[in-house]
A and B are shown apart, each in its own frame.
Chain A
Amino acid sequence: MDIELILKVWVFFAKAALVTVEVSALACALGLALGLIGALGKLSDYRALRYPATVYVSAFRGTPCLVQLFIIYFGGPQIGLNLEPFAAGVLGLGLNIGAYMSESIRGAIVAVDRGQWDAARSLGLRYLPTVRLVILPQAAALMIRPLGVNTVALIKGSALVSAISVVELTYTAHRFISSTYKPFEMFALSAFFYLIIITVVTRAIRALDERYAVQGHG
C-alpha cells in the first residue's frame, strides 16, 4: 500500500464522490417523479395513459442503461437535444431508474386494499385526492424497501456516466489507475467512498422502513 500516494490524491476522490452523490440524488428525484407517474399510468383505466406508461417501463427496463445514456448524449443532438454530460447523465439515469421505480411503486399501490379506493371515491373524493390522501400514505410504508433497493442500484449505476465523461468517482479512479500505475490503491480509495455512500444510504432507508413499517401496521 502506497499510503503517501493515497494521502496525496484522496482529495480528488472526495470531490468526485460529491459528484457521484449529486448525480445520484438528482437522478433519484427525477426517477421518483417518473416512477409515480409511470405507476399511476400503468394502473390507469384509460388506455391513452396505460399504453405509454407500459411502453416506457418496458423499454427502459428491457435495454441497457449505458445504451440509453448514449442515445441521449450522442444521439440527442440529432433530434435537437443538446445536453452537457452532467445533464445527460442525470436525465439518462433518472429515466432508467424511473422505470424500475414505477414497478416498485405500482407493487405497493396494488398491495393497498381495493376497498380503500372504493371507500374514498364513495366519500366524494376525486381521483387525485384519493391517491394523495388515502392510497399513497398507506402504500408509502410498503414501497420504502423496494425503492431503497432501486436507489442503491442507481448509485452503483451512476458509474456509467463516466462513459459520457462526467468526472465522478469511477471516472477519477480510471484516470488515476492509468496515470499512477497503482491499481490496488486507487481501487481501494474509490471503493472506500462508494462503500461509505452506500452504507449511509442503506442505513437511512432501513431507519425509514423501520419507522414507517411500525406505523403501517399500527
Chain B
Amino acid sequence: MGLDFTVLLEYRDLILTGAVWTAVLTIVSGIASVFVGTVLAVAQLSRNRWVTAPVAAFMWVFMGTPLLLQLYFIYFGLVEIGIDLSAFWSGIIALSVHFAVYNADVIRAAIAALDSGQYEAARSLGLGRFQALRLVVIPQALRNVAPALGNNMIALLKESSLVSIIGVMELTLSAQKAISETYRPFEFYILAAAIYYVLNMGLEYILARIEQKTALTR
C-alpha cells in the first residue's frame, strides 16, 4: 500500500475539531496547573510539618511516576472509591496535577529566592499572611519563573496526546478515528504531528509575548 495524502482532505473537519480540543485541554490544564502548583508551593513553605510532609510525599510520587500511569489511576481507579469521572475530566485532572507538581517545584524555589523583606514589608503595612502572599510575594515569584512555567506548558501540549488513550476526543484520537475508517495510519499520524508542531510554535509565540509583557523593565 503506497502513501496517499489526498485522503486527508476528506477528514479535515474531524482533525481540525480534534486540534481545537487539544488546544482547549492545553489551555485549561495549563492554567489549572499554575494555580494548583502555586498552592502546592505555598503549602510546602508552611512551618507546619503536618502540611509539608504529605505535600512533599505527594509531589515525590507524582514526579517519580509516568503521567500515563497517573491517568490510568485517575480514570480507571477512582471509580472504585466512588469518584466516577468522565474521560475528559480525568484527562484535565491528570494533566493539571501532573504539571502542577513540576510547576510547584519551580514556584517554591522562586518564592524562597525572593527577598524576605518583601513579605515582612507587606505584613508591616497591615496585610494578612495570605494577602501578603497573594498580592506581593506570589505575583513577583510567578513573574520570575514565567519562562520555566512556559516550558512546562509546552511539554503539557505534547503530553496532552496521552489522554487519547483513555478516549478523550482530541487531535491524536481524531487521527485514530480517521485511520479506523481509511487504514492510513502513516498519513494521518504525520498530519497530527504536523498540527502539533504548528500548535507548539503558536504556543511558544504566545508565551514569548506574555514573558515580554510581564518582564520587569529594570
- Give the contacts of A62-86 with B (CB-CB under 8 A): 62-68, 70-71, 74-76, 78-79
- Which residue on chain A has the smallest CB distance to residue B201? A62
* Residues of B147-187 whose CB lies within 8 A of A: 158-162, 164-165, 172, 175, 179, 184-187
Mark each residue of chain A from 126 to 158: 1 if its CB lies under 8 Å from any CB of chain B, else 0. 000000000000000000000000000000111
- The size of the chain B interface, using a CB distance under 8 A, is 41
A81 to chain B, nearest CB (A): 10
Q: Is B140 an interface residue (CB 8 A)?
A: no
- Which of B80, B179, B193 is the one whose CB lies under 8 Å from A181? B80
Contact flag A182-B80 (CB < 8 Å), given A62-B196, A62-B197, A71-B186? yes
CA distance A25 to B149 in the complex (A): 29
B189 in contact (CB, < 8 A): yes
A162 & B3 in contact (Cβ 8 Å cutoff) = no
Nearest-neighbor residue (CB-CB) of A159 within chain B: B66
Contacts of A87 in B (CB 8 A): none
* Cα distance, A123 to B118, chains bound together (Å): 56
Which residues of chain A are within 8 angstroms of B35 by Cβ–Cβ distance?
Answer: none
Q: Closest residue of chain B to A65, judged by CB? A: B158
B-contact bits for A160-181, CB 8 A (1 contact / 0 none): 1011000001100110011001
Q: Which residues in B have their C-beta under 8 angstroms from that of A46?
A: none
Q: Are B189 and A67 in contact (CB under 8 A)?
A: yes
B76 contacts A183, C-beta separation under 8 Å: yes
Q: Which of B104-157 contact A (CB under 8 A)?
A: none
- Interface residue? B95 (CB, 8 A): no
Contacts of A158 in B (CB 8 A): 66
**Tally of A-B residue pairs with Cβ under 8 A?**
121
Once the chains bind, are A183 and B73 in contact (CB under 8 Å)?
yes
Q: Contact flags (1/0) for B48-92 with A, using CB distance below 8 Å?
A: 000000000000110011111100110011101100000000000
- State whether A184 and B196 are in contact (beta carbons under 8 Å apart), knowing that A191-B65, A194-B64 are contacts in the complex: no
Give me the interface of B with A, judged by CB distance under 8 Å.
1-3, 60-61, 64-69, 72-73, 76-78, 80-81, 158-162, 164-165, 172, 175, 179, 184-187, 189-190, 192-194, 196-197, 200-201
6 closest A-B pairs (Cβ-Cβ)? A183-B77, A75-B186, A159-B66, A74-B185, A64-B161, A63-B193
Interface on A for B, CB 8 Å cutoff? 59, 62-68, 70-71, 74-76, 78-79, 156-160, 162-163, 169-170, 173-174, 177-178, 181-184, 186-187, 190-191, 194-195, 198-199
